Structure 1
Amino acid sequence: MSGKGSAYGQPAGDTDFRKKYDLEEYAAKAKEREAAEKEERKARWEAKMAGKKYYKPMDGTETLTTARSATQDFSKLVGTTTLVPAGAGVGKRGRGAGFYCEACDLTFKDNLQWVEHTNSMQHQRNIGATGEVRKATAEEVRARIEALWEREQQRKREEVVSLAQRLEVRKEEEAREREERRRKRKEAEERKRQEREAAMKIKTEYGDDVRIEGEHDEDDMMAAMGFTGFGTTAKK
């Protein structure tokens, strides 16, 4: 078998495994992109000279702006770690440390800036919205008011139920606390009664000379101070 042949009987080329590119197609795409960028730079310059802000022109495929159906939960990001590319901390352009908008390729350092950006015309144009809101009909307004009223009434009913439940739980806790205090008071009284009965029993068995704890403390203190008694002496 010849050294230039292949296992399939065909000569092997040096570039058979490489992907073929249509140079003319890529050149046309590059030319079109350059023309679009040049047109955008011109439009930006004209808007700046006129004292206006440049927005991406509409192509007719945009939709009306609608309210966000979900809220952004920023609290779940507390304590998390995000890997960012080198040099991402400079400027807003590109992905960096903070709140990243993929549609506009911008990063914001706090949630207030991010919310303001999502409401801006720049962001609305980049996500394919016109920035205009459809005017609601009278029927839609009434339906919306009724839905909000029903939701408010449901919230009040839930609050009343919750308040009643909390009051009931608090009553049960107070009853248990009173019962616990009553039990401890009875135990203390019973312990003191038993101590008195034990002391009286010892005094009965051994006589009056038996010293009971705390019984003669006052006499001992008077003797320590030098007072033996306050009796009177009779005159002759």
Structure 2
Amino acid sequence: MASSNTTPGVDNTFRKKFDTEEYRERARKREEKEADRSKSQPKGPPVQRAPLKHRDYHVDLESRLGKTQVVTPVAPLSQQAGYFCRVCDCVVKDSANYLDHINGKKHQRALGMSMRVERSSLEQVQERFEVLKKRKTPGTFSEQDLDERIRKQQEEEEEHKRLRREKKKEKKKGKVIEEEPEMNPEVAELMGFGGFGSSKKS
């Protein structure tokens, strides 16, 4: 009589039987190989990456603008269309993505830099201010120069407004002078302007 646990009509003989002893032996051999490999290779200190620093070169984005170029699929990467990065050996299609790439983590790591910025001390900041003050060109303006320029501009604007007001007054006077001789007394009486004239009737 068949047991109640087995389902009639189902063939379970195709399932693979796992030999646990064999897999334990394989795992032990793999661990021994990895241990031997780690012993043979000297372990160096972890890679020290330099902190981020500003670029000391100009990024050329405009030299190939407006130029035509024949692009073939067999051309090397440096001669294909777009911006070629020599550090990462890749081509980026437009300038915005190229800037994102050279400022990105992958490119900075290839240059040996971490994405952390070195913290500046108070002395370094003061020295930087001194260098920038000395580098100031004669064409730049201090706060006093700026205040002086603003004051001069305001005076010029006031003078301009005054001249415009005077011109408007002259135009109004000119119109009155022009209108008085052109006014015919008879027409003025017909229109009802008889009482506005300066001459008195006897």
- TM-score, length-scaled by structure 2: 0.45
Tell me: higher relative CO, structure 1 or 2? Use CA pairs within 8 A at least 6 residues apart.
2
More strand by share: 2
- TM-score, length-scaled by structure 1: 0.40
